[in-house]
Amino acid sequence: MFLFNKLPVFKAPFITPERKRELKIFEKNLGIKFRNLELLNLAFTHRSYANESSEKVENNEKLEFLGDSVLGLVVSEYLFFRLRDKNEGDLAKVKSFVVSENSLSQIAKKIKVDNFILIGRGEEFSGGRSKKAILADATEAIIGAYFIDSGFEASKEFVLKLLIPEIDKVLQNKHEKDFKTLLQEYVQKTYKTHPKYRVVQRTGPDHDKTFWIEVSVQDKVFGPGVGKNKKEAEQNAAGIAYKSLTGKK
């Protein structure tokens, strides 16, 4: 149950009959049920939608903040008891993968968050429904909303249902790698230095740019990695460098 005597008022967008049907579909697909559908609707409300709305509504950022903490606690507890033979560093590494933006955005796509999220016209035009950061943040916001609505045990069950398959992938080494971190660790250990990234090209309009980034290790240059933002392009460049330097896939 919620920790306080009285729930705060949440200024979520108005729920039309059509929107209510959509939210009910989302609940049914996930096997959960909100007592307060406004919380779920607010979890889907990106700041771009709130900023453009004629209503005075909140966005999902505070729910995301809360959901991030719930997610971290649940995953940490699960790893602590499941991986009793591992040290703290190993647990932290597994956790970093499964709660990463990349992992959460993939989960978001599986549960169709992109079909239900409320975003502004500008974000819609620039492909906001497929942006990893927006999808990952909305997933954390849904977790935060469910925690407020139904309490810790229910939200814990929900988180584990979503995350255990991702944890299994990491333990079986079948997950998508964080090549930037892997490259950083390898270069520091092998060469006692660090990779250097450089933007070599930007293409496209401001709302839909593509970045081309090279990474240099010692005197060797790798890439370019290409992405819709610098972070993605750096990851792709790091992947090229790491695979070349180590021979690993």
pLDDT along the chain (249 residues), means of 10: 54 95 97 95 97 92 97 97 92 90 93 96 90 95 97 97 92 73 88 94 87 94 92 92 86
Q: Is position 85 annotated as part of the catalytic site?
A: no
Residue 52 shares a structural domain with residue 152: yes
- Of 171, 192, 222, which residue is a domain's last? 171
Per-residue model confidence (pLDDT) at position 7: 55
Give CA–CA dist 132/195, Å, rounded. 24
Predicted local distance difference test score (pLDDT) of residue 157: 97
CATH number of the domain bearing residue 193: 3.30.160.20
Q: Name the catalytic one among 68, 137, 166, 178.
A: 68
**Which member of 64, 123, 137, 140 is catalytic?**
140
pLDDT of residue 205: 86
Give the model's pLDDT for residue 203: 92
Q: For position 8, what pLDDT does the model report?
A: 62
End of a domain among 171, 187, 213?
A: 171
80 occurs within a structural domain: yes
Same domain, 45 and 125: yes
Angle between helices 132-150 and 61-82 (to 10 degrees): 80
**214 has catalytic annotation:** no
Angle between helices 101-110 and 132-150 (to 10 degrees): 70
Q: Is residue 7 part of a domain?
A: no
How are strands ordered across the β-sheet holding 220-227? 196-203, 210-217, 220-227
31 in any annotated domain? yes
Residue 187 lies in domain: 179-246
Q: Is residue 127 within 8 Å of 50, Cβ to Cβ?
A: no
Residue 176, pLDDT score: 60
**For the stretch 221-247, what's the b/e string if a residue is b when 16 or more beta carbons lie within 10 angstroms of its beta carbon?**
ebbbbebbeebbbbbbbbbbbbbebee
Q: Is residue 39 domain-shared with residue 157, that is, in the same domain?
A: yes
Residue 56 lies in a domain: yes
Are 223 and 143 part of one and the same domain?
A: no
Which of 78, 72, 142, 67 lies closest to 110, judged by CA?
142
pLDDT value of residue 178: 75
Q: Specify if 194 maps to a domain.
A: yes
Report if residue 64 sits inside a domain.
yes
What CATH number is associated with residue 81?
1.10.1520.10
Looking at 171, 191, 221, the residue that finishes a domain is: 171
In this structure, are 165 and 188 located in the same domain? no
Query: What's the angle, vertex CA 19, arms to CA 16 and CA 21, rounded to 5?
Result: 115
- The whole-number pLDDT of residue 248 equals 76
Global pTM? 0.75
Helices assigned H by DSSP within 83-191: 88-98, 101-110, 113-116, 121-125, 132-150, 152-171, 179-191
Tally of structural domains, the chain? 2
Q: Is residue 160 part of a domain?
A: yes
On whether both 69 and 166 belong to a single domain, the answer is: yes
Whether 88 is covered by a domain: the verdict is yes
The reply to whether 223 and 125 lie within a common domain is no
Co-location of 86 and 113 in the same domain: yes
Q: Are residues 82 and 130 in the same domain?
A: yes
Do 155 and 213 belong to one domain? Answer: no
